[in-house]
C-alpha cells in the first residue's frame, strides 16, 4: 500500500513544483514555511545559507534549483507531527453588542464562529463598527453584552498567554525605534527565545516576509508595505492562533496588496500550523478573493448580502474603467438590453437586464471596438455592487 503523504510533505512538494515552474518567489516562501515548521536550529542554519544565495541572485533564480532541492532534502529529514486541527472552532461569539454613551452608536448583536484555517473578511463603510468588532474579538475593549470564548491548543486563563495567542494588528501601528532586525530580536526575547535560536529564527522570519534587504532600516525608512511585512513578521514570531487585522491593505499599492493577501492565505491555510484570521478592508474584490466568508456591517449590524436586491440575481453588472465616453458605451451595447450606466468613483457601472448578455460577450464587444480600458470586472455576485449606488 502506498504511504500517504504528510501535510508537511505536501507543502514541500508544492514548494518544489512552484520553484521548478518559475514561480520562484512563491516556492521560496513555501520552502521557508516548511523550514519554520521544523523549529530546528540546524535546519535554520542550512536554509539561511540558501537564503543568502537566493537574496544575492538578482538575474536568474532558476540557477539555484540544485541548492533549493538540497534544502528540501534537509527539511524532509525532520519529522513533523500533523496536528489535524484545521477546521476546529477556536473563537465563538454570540449576540455580541457594544453600546456607546448617549446611544450614538450600537454594534450588534453579532454572532461569529471562527475555525482554525478560516479567513473572514470584514467590510462596510467607515463608521459601521469594523474596528469596534475587531477590538472586542481581540479582548482589547469590553463588549456591552453577549458571550465570547476561545479554544486554544493549550487551554489557559492566563491573560499574557491569551495576548500571545490572540494578536490584533491596528491600521496605524505604533512607531518603533532602532532597526528592523533589532526590534524583531527584542520581540522574540520578550517571548522567551534567546541566544542562537533567537538570531536564527529572526533571520528566517525576515527572509520569509521579504525583509532581507531592509533588515537594518529604521521605521521612518520603510514604506507602508514593508511596515506591514514587519508587523506580520513580528506577529508570527509569537506563534499566534488568531490574528485580527484592521485595514492591512490601506495605503498599499496593488502589487503590495497581492503579496500581503497571498501571505495571509498561506499562513491561515497551513495544515501544520493553521491560523484563524479576520481582516477588515475597503478593497472588496481582494477581500472576496481570499476569504472563506465575508461579514458586511451596515449601521453596526451584520447584513445578509444575499437578501439585498435579490431582483438583480440574474443581471450582469460590469465595472469598467475606460477613457471611452458614455455615448460610446451606450452605442455598442444598445442592442443587448442595456438597463443603465452609472459613473461612480471614476469608473462606469453598467447594468444589463436579466440574462441579456454574458461577460464573455462583453469582453468580445469591447475588444472588437478597440475600447481603451484600464480594467474590467464582473461584479454581479460581488459585494462591490452594494457600494455603487
Output the pLDDT for position 127: 78
Q: What is the DSSP string of 155-175?
A: ----HHHHHHHEEEE-SSPPP
Output the pLDDT for position 29: 94
Domain residue spans in the chain?
7-76, 89-303, 307-387
Output the pLDDT for position 205: 95
307-387 shares the fold of 89-303: no
pLDDT, tens digit, for every residue of 244-301? 999 888 777 777 788 888 888 888 988 778 899 999 887 777 777 788 888 888 888 8
Q: Cα torsion for 186, 187, 192, 197, to the nearest 10°?
A: -70
Output the pLDDT for position 384: 56
- Report residue 172 as a C-alpha cell: 496605524
- Report residue 285 as a C-alpha cell: 474584490
> According to the CATH classification, is domain 89-303 in 3.40.50.300?
yes
Long-range contact pairs involving 280-283 (C-beta distance under 8 Å, separation at least 24): 280/121, 280/122, 280/123, 280/130, 280/131, 280/134, 280/245, 280/246, 280/247, 281/121, 281/122, 281/123, 281/247, 281/248, 281/249, 281/250, 282/123, 282/247, 282/249, 282/250, 283/249, 283/257
Q: What is the DSSP string of 354-384?
A: TTS--HHHHHHHHHHTT--EEEEEE-TTSGG
How many Å apart are CA 47 and CA 187, to the nearest integer? 22
Output the pLDDT for position 1: 42
Give the phi and the psi of residue 257 in degrees, each rounded to 5.
-60, -45
Specify the pairing of strand 119-123 against strand 293-298: parallel
Give the homologous superfamily in CATH for domain 307-387. YebC, transcriptional regulation domain (3.30.70.980)
The CA-to-CA distance between both ends of the chain, in Å, stands at 59
- Judge contact between 164 and 112, C-beta under 8 A: no
Provide the b/e sequence for 200-214 (b: ≥16 CB within 10 Å).
bbbbbbbbbbbbbeb
Output the pLDDT for position 182: 95
The burial of 258, by beta-carbon neighbours within 10 Å (0-12 exposed, 13-18 middle, 19 or more buried), is given as middle
- Judge contact between 132 and 187, C-beta under 8 A: no
How many Å apart are CA 285 and CA 381, to the nearest integer? 11
pTM: 0.78
Output the pLDDT for position 46: 95
Cis peptide before 109 (omega within 30 of 0): yes
- Judge contact between 137 and 113, C-beta under 8 A: no
pLDDT, tens digit, for every residue of 207-251? 999 999 999 999 999 988 899 899 999 999 988 999 999 988 877
Provide the b/e sequence for 97-108 (b: ≥16 CB within 10 Å).
ebeeeeeeeebb
How many Å apart are CA 29 and CA 167, to the nearest integer? 22
Output the pLDDT for position 389: 46
Residues of the chain with pLDDT under 50: 1, 306-310, 389
According to DSSP, residue 182 is labeled H
- 3 state SS of 319: strand
Amino acid at each position: 500500500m502506498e504511504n500517504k503523504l504528510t501535510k508537511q510533505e505536501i507543502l514541500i512538494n508544492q514548494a518544489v513544483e512552484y520553484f521548478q515552474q518559475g514561480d520562484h518567489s512563491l516556492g521560496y516562501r513555501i520552502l521557508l514555511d516548511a523550514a519554520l515548521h521544523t523549529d530546528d536550529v540546524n535546519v535554520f542554519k542550512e536554509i539561511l545559507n540558501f537564503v543568502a544565495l537566493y537574496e544575492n541572485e538578482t538575474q536568474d533564480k532558476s540557477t539555484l534549483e540544485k541548492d533549493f532541492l538540497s534544502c528540501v532534502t534537509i527539511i524532509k529529514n525532520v519529522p513533523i507531527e500533523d496536528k489535524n486541527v484545521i477546521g476546529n472552532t477556536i473563537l465563538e461569539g454570540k449576540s455580541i453588542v457594544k453600546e456607546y454613551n448617549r446611544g450614538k452608536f450600537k454594534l450588534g448583536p453579532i454572532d461569529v464562529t471562527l475555525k482554525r484555517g478560516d479567513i473572514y473578511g470584514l467590510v462596510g463603510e467607515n463608521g459601521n463598527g469594523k474596528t469596534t468588532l475587531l477590538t472586542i474579538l481581540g479582548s482589547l475593549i469590553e463588549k456591552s453584552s453577549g458571550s465570547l470564548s476561545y479554544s486554544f491548543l493549550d487551554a489557559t486563563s492566563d491573560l499574557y498567554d491569551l495576548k500571545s495567542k490572540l494578536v490584533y494588528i491596528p491600521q496605524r501601528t505604533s512607531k518603533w525605534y532602532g532597526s528592523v532586525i533589532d526590534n524583531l530580536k527584542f520581540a522574540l526575547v520578550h517571548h522567551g527565545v534567546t541566544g542562537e535560536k533567537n538570531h536564527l529564527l529572526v533571520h528566517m522570519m525576515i527572509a520569509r516576509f521579504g525583509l532581507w534587504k531592509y533588515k537594518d532600516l529604521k521605521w521612518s525608512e520603510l514604506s507602508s508595505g514593508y511596515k506591514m511585512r514587519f508587523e506580520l513578521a513580528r506577529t508570527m514570531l509569537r506563534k499566534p492562533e488568531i490574528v485580527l487585522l484592521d485595514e492591512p491593505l490601506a495605503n498599499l499599492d496593488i502589487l503590495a496588496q497581492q503579496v500581503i493577501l497571498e501571505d495571509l492565505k498561506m499562513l491561515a491555510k497551513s495544515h501544520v500550523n493553521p491560523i484563524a484570521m479576520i481582516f477588515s478592508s475597503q478593497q472588496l474584490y481582494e477581500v472576496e478573493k481570499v476569504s472563506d466568508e465575508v461579514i458586511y456591517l451596515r449601521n453596526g449590524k451584520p447584513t445578509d448580502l444575499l437578501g439585498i436586491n435579490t431582483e438583480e440575481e440574474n443581471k450582469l453588472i460590469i465595472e469598467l474603467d475606460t477613457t471611452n465616453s458614455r455615448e460610446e458605451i451606450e452605442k455598442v451595447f444598445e442592442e443587448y438590453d442595456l438597463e443603465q450606466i452609472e459613473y461612480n468613483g471614476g469608473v462606469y457601472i453598467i447594468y444589463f437586464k436579466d440574462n441579456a448578455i454574458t461577460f464573455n460577450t462583453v469582453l468580445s464587444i469591447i475588444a472588437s471596438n478597440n475600447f481603451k480600458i484600464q480594467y474590467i470586472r464582473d461584479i454581479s455576485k460581488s459585494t462591490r455592487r452594494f457600494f455603487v449606488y
